[in-house]
Chain A
């Protein structure tokens, strides 16, 4: 008899089972199926990127995991418990950052700690330490007292990231967070994001991430697995393992495997992309 240990597969952090979402237009009553039969298990500490053509329902899936929208059918579970409402354990980073314009950088980062469940019962000193830590981590030292309108796009994005992390969520839901940035800033922040996520550190310390993007190279660079979606209705057309070792640096982009994976994803969405602009 072999004594080989069979590694039990860890329980998924997130389990999306047969999710669908139907929108009903308020006046006409016209129904649109935005997402159909979406299935996905996400392991703890896994970095998942969802790519797909515009309007494929990527953001809808994210919003349902966040609890901001209800699925029409199917179930979403986190740690085995059904999700029905938003909660601080699932932090969201919005495409437009959604920073509070009347709050300074510091107060934006500490907003959830001050008003939300994440900071309940936390002593003021501890809260301050935490804010300092994340302000420093995302490289905002010295800009703490500025208001969002005084910051560049890249800086705002950092504030949003620090705010997301300061609440200590288990799952990070990121909706095209780098979408509005110029190409150079994007590349820099992709590397930064992996550093902050803890790529170089212990695997168990990493957060579970669902990251939505329309950038194929961005998805390959960041993800452990890439979920490719097709549209009308939005459904999973493929899930690809990105077998490029971590930590990943800029050189990864020159790796032949990087090009292969990018090409494969592109081939999956190419037809739809062309059809969309035809």
Chain B
């Protein structure tokens, strides 16, 4: 009897099981290594990280910091969405606008979000406005570029088809160009959300450095406090894990929204 490829033992494991097997093995090794160290060692260990996580959650600190960071990401993302969409539709539909603005956009795009931090702090101080500026700046480019792409690549034939039905120009934009660009815009949103989350943590870390801690809040700030004041490596690891898990959740959420909004794509 021939061996069916699909019944090989490795493929019997569901994807999620495969996804967690290696991390579990690594954590076990990490814990084993940590147990060889003296009790006073500051090195992070899995059990201590769990303990730290439980304490930070119980005190509400971690939840509050996460909510603060998420709130900033959402606000910064909203600003970027408004700016990126409107400019993107303009640049995508008018060649004239695109050719004039493209050099400016392309020369700002390589400037890392953190590189505008000095200006943001000087203009807005070390609080939320500076952090929002950085998040919005980071999220703006993926949104803009993908909106331009989506709008300018709308199948010409669909527009022609609409014209032959006696549909007005404005109505064609609303009923044809915008829906046709939505997949690109959603992709841009997902990428933008990812970089926004990356940027907020970095911004809070850096803004925290100047403010001396405690004032601006957020997960990044929390990490800074653990780093600069209590030298708590386990706390830092907790923050890192939270950042990673939330980034993953954001990505999955956006994919879910995409699948839901675009049933016509498979």
Contacts and interface: CB of A to CB of B under 8 A. Distances in A.
Interface of A: 66-68, 86-92, 94, 96, 98, 100-103, 111-112, 114-118, 147-149, 167, 173
Given A147-B263, A147-B264, A98 B165 contact: no
B161 A92 contact: yes
A112 B160 contact: no
B183 to A, nearest CB: 9
Interface stretch (B1-9, B24-32, B171-179, B209-217): B171-179
A94 B157 contact: yes
Contacts of B158: 98, 100
14 contacts: A68-B164, A86-B160, A86-B164, A88-B165, A88-B166, A91-B164, A91-B165, A98-B155, A116-B167, A117-B167, A118-B165, A147-B264, A149-B265, A167-B165
A117 B155 CA distance: 22
Interface in B139-173: 155, 157-158, 160-167, 171
Contact of B167 (A91, A98, A103, A115): A115
Nearest to A160: B161
Contact of B166 (A96, A116, A148, A149): A116
B161 A98 contact: yes
B171 A115 contact: yes
> Which of B167, B171, B175, B265 has the largest count of A CB atoms less than 10 A from its CB?
B167
Contact of B163 (A86, A114, A173): A86
A115 B165 contact: yes
A100 B166 contact: no
Contacts of A173: 164
A112 B179 CA distance: 16
B47 interface: no
> Which of B163, B164, B176, B182 has the largest count of A CB atoms less than 10 A from its CB?
B164
Contacts of A149: 264-266
B228 to A, nearest CB: 51
B264 A112 contact: no
Nearest to A112: B165
A116 B165 contact: yes
Contacts of A148: 264
B262 interface: yes
B179 A102 contact: yes
Given A112-B167, A116-B166, A98 B264 contact: no
A114 to B, nearest CB: 8
B154 to A, nearest CB: 11
B164 A111 contact: no
Given A68-B160, A96-B157, A115-B162, A101 B264 contact: yes
B161 A94 contact: yes
